[in-house]
Every structure is written in structure tokens, then in C-alpha cells.
Amino acid sequence: MNWHQQSQEELEKILNVTASTGLTKSQAKKRMKQHGLNQLEEKKKIPSWLLFLRQFQDMMILLLIGATLVSAALGEYIDALTIVFIVLLNGILGFIQENKAEKSLDALKELASPTMKVKRDGHWITIPSVEAVPGDIVKLYGGDKVSADIRLLSVNSVSAEESALTGESYPVQKSNDRLKDTNVPIGERVNMAFAGTLVTKGDAVGVIVATGMKTEMGKIAHLLSDSVKSETPLQKRLAHLGTILITGALILTALVVIIGIMQGQPFYKMILSGVSLAVAAIPEGLPAIVTVVLALGVQRMIKRQAIVRHLPAVETLGCASVICSDKTGTLTQNKMKVTALWNPSGITFRSSKKGFSKSSYENLLSFSVLCNQAAMDTTEENENVQGDSTELALIEAAQSAGISLNRLFSSYRVEKVFPFDSERKRMTVIVRDKMGKAFVVTKGAPDVLLDLTTTIMERGRAEKLSAIKKENIYRAIEDMASRALRTIAVAYRPLDKGETIKDVTKAEKNLSFIGMEGMIDPPRPEVKEAIQECRSAGIKTIMITGDHKLTAAAIAKDIGLLPEYGKVVTGREWEQASLQDKRRLLQRVYVFARVSPEDKLNIVRELRNAGHVVAMTGDGVNDAPALKAADIGIAMGKTGTDVAKEAAALILRDDNFSTIRSAIKEGRNIYDNIRKFIRYMLASNVGEILVMLFAVMLGMPLPLVPIQILWINLITDGLPAMALGLDQPEEDGMKRPPRSASESIFANGMGWKIISRGFLIGLVTLIGFMTSLHEQPNDLIRAQTIAFSILVMAQLIHVFDCRTSQTIFDRPPFENKYLTGSVLSSILLLVLVIYTPIFQPIFHTVALSVSEWILVLTLAAIPTFALAGQYLFKTEKKE
């Protein structure tokens, strides 16, 4: 269907809808059944059975299964069956972990689901975009992401960025004119808005002509790419590390096998032990656990109102050294209230609940409502008042003085709107009164408006704006701003007869200043403490705002953001500074005021050049480049546009600064936890390999049989490691400086800890084995049981040490109930295989006596406590 060629009447007929009322609910329901949900189909998921089978495709596991078959052929049925059973259990565990990771990532996608404003039964309502159907009448605003193919019926200076579809990143101007030609390329169908593209400015009403896979986007069958699932730097580094670890483990294992055979151990036994050892030593579960921990962490972040759009952001959050935050709504509550009015006759402050008196401020109050998007939307749609909080405050102030919106809009008609944008910092309308007289009304930042003003209204007459009068206004602005009030000025100009305005710059000249309103926007109460916590975590908070320098400074001081020595810099000062000055300024600046989105981009770049990892917030279309340029772009969930959200890595559901702090805290914790279980798993593996290596080198019998090795791998690498990933944050998590993005996983002595603890675990196991063998040279099974128990217990004690970067004494050991639970169950399983007669022949174990247990536990505690003692000694000396 060539939608671009149809007229509105034809469109209404074909799509069976009336533009003025939209579809009825029942029509929409029927169409939903017919056309399905408005979404693109996703790539087919890997079926569960395949995911399960994939757990066994690992080379070493296949070798192990091969070796097991050989042992079955040699008649070792019990051994063979047990190994198969353990391998199966291992596979199930891996499968559960991967499945969980997959599911939690899927849940994330749903959160990012967009909404759409449609007309149903004559009313504008907001619905999830997936519920939109062909024939729906929709409204689009600058900043929206288009979720269906839409033929535009009316447009108001609309541009759209269609690069997702056409590759052309320059915005296309849209119109509602009918196009004549049939074969118009998509990029030139200017009366259409396509799914997947972004409205960069203006607003429009249109009718949906296609949804889901029938849209142009659906047709080129770009299956949804999962931005959420992109790999984090750590995952990439681990993949690289994985190959090194595997090679290392294989070399050592081969060494064990070769030396063992040379020492006269039976060939087949050594091969099976070697393969088992390799399976145990290769941390194949690592990537899956990392994903699960990342995904679970991301879910915890959601609970704290932070939605992660790109997984790598989780890690980058932990490296953030600067947060550039918007003021309005993020550091403040965005609950504006006008508390002061100024015009040449004087200033009036409002006491708590009372309204303003109309007498001397009627023009100021009325004009601030005429030039007001929220007021226009309200009367047009007869809905509850909603919109921008600055504008709502202006409406409330006018209403408090007894001015009625309905009466005002029945006396004046708004003919043209040049909407507010944070670059221009003002909004202008052309209105006409009942007598046919037209005039321009502009409201905006007072200092900006003054540049466009030549006269000032005094006692109903336009007087020349002399230098003294201008000075007076500046003083009034400063007076209001230093009380932390946000200021808005109103100016106007009657149009000459027959004067028509197309260009906004032609409208906004020779204006007459009417007055100013000052509004408070109280800081969010929790922000002060959050800024303080960020500071002790080595993270600097910088306020970036479009507001006046003094207003910004007053609020910044109030929330403890601006220290005594801190500087406040305006966008203009920043622009004019040399590169060198900018670098110097950056060290001391805490507030950027009156900035434009373009300045934001420049600030991010300079901060990054100075070596900072920058988190930057934003909400408007123009903020998107800065959000993309930042290390972590953060968009506002409530007030943010789709364009900003699209460009961001993190979305704050509640627009609240302290949510950024929580996300950083969580980001640091996730990274710490990943390091914890890497440390634990690797130290355990080093211990396992070394005990075998030492034994063969000393020409002793093998301290562990293959089944024991596999069993240890299963019970120690599985649940306890997972539980470490869920550990609580360490107390000093937000007291240390951010880590460097290039820092190695093994930084801060972790490599040494892994090797030293691993070495000790291997050593004490060997000592236990040798002691037992020395006492009862003919009881190899007993010595092996002791070695097996020491190895398990040493790991289960060491797991508590891995919770802290200091020593085991620094944290209450049993805080993490998952860890305590998994350790207890692992101990229970150990006791089970040692004491139950049916398991004894399977696991080659015997029951141990009390004195043997004392030996086991004493030796098992050494790797953790010996070095903790050394550490304690060191810190005491330091103190």
C-alpha cells in the first residue's frame, strides 16, 4: 500500500478510523487479534535441550567420558557409573546457571519497553507501544522513538533521524503533504514516520499504517540485536585469561601424568586421574557464573531504580571518577513553586499557603500562562494539568491569583508556538485577542530575554529600557537567584497590522519586559548524603545546569556539592576559555551554569581527556551526543526522551541522583564479588593440581582417586563459588577510590593470594596424606580419605577468607547466608560419602576417627589462618 499517496479521507476510509476520535476499544482489541503485538520477532532462542547438551561439548569432558568408557570396558563399573553421574550433575549445574543468566537478561529487556500516546474512544491515552494497532491515531513529540509506521496527518516543525532505516544520520524534515509519485524511496517519504526512527524535534499527529514485522523495519528483518547482552570488558578479559588457565592446567596435568608413569604408576590409572584433574582444574564454570553474577547484580540495581541498558556499564560504573549531574529533577525534587514576583513596581514574596494578589501582577501572571505549553495542552485536551514542572508552577501562581485558564484561552487564541528548548532557554508564542490584535509573548531565562528587550512595561506603558533600569533588573535577578530561586522572565510585543511571523528570530526582537517570577525547587533530601558518600568514594560530583549561576551555586552549597574553594563556571566562560585554562578550571569547577547541551559534550570530552571516567546525566534530544560520549550515559526515566534513553547505558527510573550512587555502589560490589570467586576457584584449583604434582614428584601413591577429584570440583566449585557472587558489599566499598579501568583482575595482591593459598592448600593436603601413610603404611584408602577431607575442608574454610580483601577476621564470617548454607551442605555431603557404607566403596573412602578429624581440621585451617596472622602482624606494625 502506498500510504504516502493517500489523502486523509482515503486513509480514514482504508484504515476504518476517524481521526478526531480514534479507534474504539473494541476495534483496537479486534485488530490486536488480527495483527498481533506491535513488536519485531526475535532471533530464535537456543532450545533448552541444546543448551543442556552444550554443557558436555567441552573437550575435557568428552575426554573424561571417553576415559570412563575405557574403565567400564575394563570392568570398573562402579567407577564408570559414578563418573558419569558426577559429569551429569556438573552439566545440570552449568545448565541451571546459564539458563538463569539468560532469563534474567531477558527480564531486563522488558523493562525498557516504550509507551505511545494514542487516541481511543475520543481520548488521548498512553499505552505500551506493543499494544498499538493499525488505524490508531497517535501523537509524536520531539524526543520520541517511533514504534510503528505512521502516516503523518498534521505536523509542527517535525524532523526525524532515520539512520536506523536509511543510514542517513542527518535529520529529515517532515510534512503532512500528500506525495504524488508511487515509487518514493523510504528516505524521501517525508509524510511518514517509520518504526525504529527518532523524532528529533516538533510534534505531530498521525495514523498507524503498519505494526510489528509489517513495518519497514520489520521487512528488512533486522532481528532485535541484544544490546543488553554485549560482553563486558571483564568477560572479554576472562575469555583471554581462560585460554591461559586452560593451557597452564593442561601442562601441569600432563606433567603429573608423565611423572606418574615414569615413576611406575599404571598407565591407564594415570590417564584417568590426569583427565579428571584437568576437568577439575579448568574453571569451565567461570564465564557462566560471571554472567549470572552480572545479571543478578543488574536485577538488584533495578530494585534500586537503575536500569542497565548495556551490561558493560555495570563494570564501568565501578570505575566512575566524576558524575556530571543535571540539577533540576535529579539533585532537586522538580516540585517547583513560584514564591516571588517582580516587576518595576516592586517585588512580592509569597507566604506559605496564600496565593498572590492579582492587582499589580496580572499581566505577568496571565502572559506566563499564555506562553505555556502545559497550559495549552491542558485546555485542549481537557485533562488534568500535566507537563513541565516550571510551566505548571507558573500556572499555579496565576491560578492562585484568581486567573482562570479557560477564561484566558477563550479571550486569546494561540496561533503559533516556538517551543522551549534548552539551547535557546526561552519559548515564544503568537497570540491574537478577540479584537483581532496579535502579539508576541516570550518567556525564558531573564538574562537571555534582556538581550532581546528594548523597553519595559511600567504602569501600562512601554518605557525605554535605560541602563539604570536594566541594572535594576539584574539586581533583582541576582537577589532572587541567590535565594536559590529559579527565575523566568516574561516579555511581549504587539505585532503591527498585517505583520506575519514565520521565523522565530523575527518575532523575538524589540520586546517589552513585563516582569519575572522566581520559583523554588527544593533539593531532594537524600542527595546531600549521597554526594558525601560519593566524595569519600573518590568520586567528584559536578552540577551541570541550564539555570542561572547564582541559583545553581545556592543550591549546590545547600546540598554540600560546592566546597569553599569550588568554582562556578558559566557556559559562556567555558566556551571562551583556552584549552589550557579549561584544564586548569576542571580541577576546581563544581558547578557549570547556563550551559547548553553543546557545552555538555565539550565538558565530557575534556573530563575524559583529563583521564576521568565520566558518568553524565541527560534527558533531552540535544543531550544524546554527550550521553554517548560519556563513559556511562545516564538518562532520566521519568522526564527523559526516548532519544536520550536510546543513547544512554543506564536509565534512572526515579530521575534521582542518589540512584546513581546506589548503582555505583552495586557496580563496585559486583566487580568485587566476581574477583572473590575467581580468587576462590583458582586457589582451589592450584591446590588440587599441586597436591597431585607434589605426590608424583616424591614418588608417592596418588593422594586422590579420580572420583574424589571430580567430586571436589563439583561440590566446591559449584554452590560456594556462586554464593560468593551474591556476597554483601564490603564496608569500605565506598570508601576507597575508584579502580582504574585498565586494572588487572589480579590487582591488589590477588595473584599472590591465589598462588600462596593454593600452594598451602596443596601442601597441607600432602602433609596430611603423608602423616597418615606414615602411621599406617598399608592403609592407602585411609590416607586418601584424609587427603580428600583436608582438600575439601581447606577450600571450604578458605572460601570465607575470599570474602574480604583484608583478612578473615575483618568481617563477620557468617553474614552471607547463601555461603554459610552452601558450605554446610558441602560439609554434609563430605560426611555422607565418608560415613555411609554404600558410598564408601564408590568414593574409595573409610570412616575417620575423631583424632583424624582433628588432624584434618587443623591442617585445613592453616592456609587461611597462617597468612591471616602474617597480615595482622603487618597491620599492627603499620599502626
Q: Which is nearer to ligand ATP, 445 or 683 (CB)?
A: 445
Task: Tell me the site size for ligand ATP, rule CB under 6 A.
Answer: 21
Residue among 486 and 757 whose Cβ is closer to ligand ATP? 486
Rounded least distance, CB 721 to ligand ATP, Å: 44
Q: How far is the CB of 327 from ligand ATP (least distance, A)?
A: 3
Only segment of 288-296, 385-393, 723-731, 863-871 that touches ligand ATP (CB under 6 A): 385-393
* Contacts of residue 367, Cβ cutoff 8 Å, sequence gap at least 6: 441, 443, 490, 492, 514
CB-based contact 528:574 (threshold 8 Å): no
User: Looking at beta carbons only, is 35 or 549 nearer to ligand ATP?
Assistant: 549
Which of 39, 390, 784, 804 is the binder for ligand ATP (CB under 6 A)? Answer: 390
- Report which residue's Cβ sits closest to ligand ATP: 546
User: Measured from the CB atom, is 487 or 864 closer to ligand ATP?
Assistant: 487
C-alpha dihedral over 88, 93, 96, 102, to 10 degrees? -110
Contacts by 574-581, CB closer than 8 A, 24 or more apart: 574/599, 574/602, 574/603, 575/599
Beta bridge partners of 127: 116
Question: Site for ligand ATP (CB under 6 A): which residue of 149, 388, 672, 810?
Answer: 388
Letter for the amino acid at 493?
A: R
Point out which span in 230-238, 433-441, 467-475, 480-488 binds ligand ATP (CB under 6 A).
480-488
Residue in 119, 189, 486, 540 binding ligand ATP, rule: CB under 6 A: 486
Name the residue nearer to ligand ATP (CB basis): 425 or 645.
425
**Alpha carbons 790 and 822: distance in angstroms, whole number:** 18
Residues 169 and 200: their CA atoms lie apart, in Å, by 11
**Per-residue string for binding with ligand ATP, 433-462, x by CB under 6 A?**
----------xxx-----------------
Give me the 391-410 binding string for ligand ATP, x by CB under 6 A, dash otherwise. x-------------------
Contact 710, 280 (CB under 8 A): yes
Residue 449 Cβ vs ligand ATP, minimum distance, rounded to whole Å: 9
* Residue from the set 174, 201, 426, 753 that interacts with ligand ATP by CB under 6 A: 426
CB of 326 vs ligand ATP, minimal distance in Å: 4
d(CA 291, CA 317): 17
Residue (645 or 782) nearer to ligand ATP, CB: 645
* Minimum distance of ligand ATP from residue 21's CB (angstroms): 30
What is the C-alpha separation between 493 and 428, in angstroms, rounded? 11
x/- track of binding to ligand ATP for residues 338-377 (CB under 6 A)? ----------------------------------------
Residue 425 or 782 having the CB closest to ligand ATP: 425
Please say if 326 is a catalytic residue.
yes
Contact call for residue 517 and ligand ATP (CB under 6 A): no
**Which grid cell is 441?**
509573548
> What mask of x and - would describe binding to ligand ATP in positions 665 to 704, judged by CB under 6 A?
----------------------------------------
Beta bridge partners of 154: 205
Q: Report the number of secondary-structure helices (H) and strands (E) in the chain.
A: 33, 24
Question: Do 722 and 823 meet the contact criterion of CB atoms below 8 Å apart?
Answer: no
Residue 547 lies near ligand ATP (rule: CB under 6 A): yes
Cα 483 to chain centroid, rounded = 35
Least distance in angstroms from the C-beta of 588 to ligand ATP: 20
Tell me the closest approach of the beta carbon of residue 415 to ligand ATP, in angstroms.
18
Closest CA to 157 of 428, 381, 389, 433: 428
Q: Contact with ligand ATP (CB under 6 A): which of 68, 147, 232, 328?
A: 328
Q: Which of 144, 149, 203, 326 binds ligand ATP (CB under 6 A)?
A: 326
The residue within the footprint of ligand ATP, chosen from 166, 422, 771, 840 (CB under 6 A), is 422
In the complex, the smallest distance separating the C-beta of residue 90 from ligand ATP, rounded to whole angstroms, is 53
The C-alpha atoms of residue 705 and residue 229 are separated, in whole angstroms, by 40
Q: 3-class SS at 496? A: coil
Nearer to ligand ATP, 390 or 845 (CB): 390
Alpha helices per DSSP H over 589-734: 597-609, 624-629, 642-647, 657-697, 706-717, 719-725
Shortest gap between Cβ of 241 and ligand ATP (angstroms)? 42
Kindly tell me the sign of the dihedral angle through the C-alpha atoms of 269, 272, 278, 280.
negative
Decide: is 482 part of the binding site for ligand ATP (CB under 6 A).
no
The residues in 569-628 that bind ligand ATP, with binding defined as CB under 6 A, are none
Q: Cβ 433 to ligand ATP, closest distance in Å?
A: 22
Going by the DSSP 8-state scheme, the letter that residue 145 receives in this structure is B
Question: Among the options 326, 623, 631, 642, which is catalytic?
Answer: 326
Where does this chain touch ligand ATP (CB under 6 A) — which range of 135-143, 148-156, 541-549, 583-591?
541-549
Write out the DSSP string of 419-486: EEETTTTEEEEEEEETTS-EEEEEEE-HHHHHTTEEEEEETTEEEE--HHHHHHHHHHHHHHHHTT-E
Q: Is 420 in the site for ligand ATP (CB under 6 A)?
A: yes
- Of 157-165, 384-392, 582-590, 833-841, which segment contacts ligand ATP by CB under 6 A? 384-392
Q: What Cα–Cα distance (Å) separates residue 200 from each residue in 144, 161, 162, 804? A: 8, 6, 10, 49
3-state helix, strand, coil in the chain (%, to 5): 55, 15, 30
Could you say which DSSP state residue 806 is in? S
Q: Does 203 bind ligand ATP (CB under 6 A)?
A: no
CA atoms within 13 A on the CB side of 862: 20
Q: Would you say 151 or 425 has its CB closer to ligand ATP?
A: 425
Q: Degrees (nearest 5) of the Cα angle 207, 209, 210?
A: 135
Query: Rounded to an integer, what distance in angstroms lies between the CA atom of residue 441 and that of residue 734?
Result: 50
Stretch that binds ligand ATP, among 313-321, 322-330, 555-563, 702-710 (CB under 6 A): 322-330
* Closer residue to ligand ATP in complex, CB, 129/332: 332
d(CA 636, CA 620): 9
Q: What is the 3-state secondary structure (H, E, C) of 825-841?
A: HHHHHHHHHHHCCCHHH
Residues annotated as catalytic are 326
Site residues for ligand ATP per CB under 6 A:
326-328, 388, 390-391, 420, 422, 425-427, 443-445, 486-488, 545-548
